[in-house]
A and B are shown apart, each in its own frame.
Chain A
Amino acid sequence: DAGITQSPRYKITETGRQVTLMCHQTWSHSYMFWYRQDLGHGLRLIYYSAAADITDKGEVPDGYVVSRSKTENFPLTLESATRSQTSVYFCASSEASTGGKAFFGQGTRLTVV
């Protein structure tokens, strides 16, 4: 199916474990983004990528790692999960020419216990 998909939709993990959230888009958009959504903070940018093999930090990158070996995939890894990383994570993509019009996945609800 065309679009942007995230997996898993729900994940419970233990403190200290490594966990990877997956994001796949079928449009070949240049830009991809990871946001986290928390009550009182809206959406905050974790990392973004302007193209394959090009990534850069956003507002809250600490504790996260990303890679973009292929244009369509942009996985987000929590190297050693902490309770403060309990959140809803959204992946998004956009084309360079659209100046901010982004398409969002359905989100991954991550709980760190």
Chain B
Amino acid sequence: GDSVTQMEGPVTLSEEAFLTINCTYTATGYPSLFWYVQYPGEGLQLLLKATKADDKGSNKGFEATYRKETTSFHLEKGSVQVSDSAVYFCALSGTNNNAGNMLTFGGGTRLMVKP
């Protein structure tokens, strides 16, 4: 079945540092790929998405490129802020037409940014 693997955390960075959180996936067909973010005490919210190979999703300074050849969707940000401290989840949507909206999540990566 489909699966998502992302780097374990926590990731601790200083403010303005460069961020990379690795994500790789296994899926049949052509899934859409997502990054969700969870701030403390809240539910998940969509950060960015990409629906086909070589698409780049971007939002709030975060970027991720859908790399079909390496089955990866790594999250990057050039300069993190304290307010970016959260848990980040990589996910893919179901490739089964009967559950095309079903998301499979990675284990999550906690990011802590220090001033």
Contact = CB atoms under 8 A, between A and B. Distances in A.
Contact of A94 (B44, B101, B104): B101
Interface string B72-115: 00000000000000000101111000111111111110000000
Given A90-B43, A104-B44, A106-B42, A99 B99 contact: no
A33 interface: yes
B42 A99 contact: no
B45 interface: yes
B34 interface: yes
B62 to A, nearest CB: 16
A108 B29 CA distance: 34
Summarize A's interface: helix, strand, loop or mixed.
Answer: strand
Contacts of B92: 100
B51 interface: yes
A44 B103 CA distance: 9
Contact of B89 (A33, A42, A107): A42
Interface residues of B, number: 26
A48 B43 contact: no
A31 B32 CA distance: 17
B46 interface: yes
Contacts of B105: 35, 42-44
30 contacts: A31-B101, A33-B102, A35-B105, A42-B89, A42-B105, A42-B108, A43-B44, A43-B89, A45-B102, A50-B98, A56-B99, A90-B43, A92-B103, A98-B101, A99-B51, A99-B93, A99-B101, A100-B32, A100-B49, A100-B91, A100-B92, A100-B100, A100-B101, A101-B49, A102-B101, A104-B44, A106-B41, A106-B42, A106-B43, A107-B42
Interface of B: 32, 34, 41-46, 49, 51, 89, 91-94, 98-108
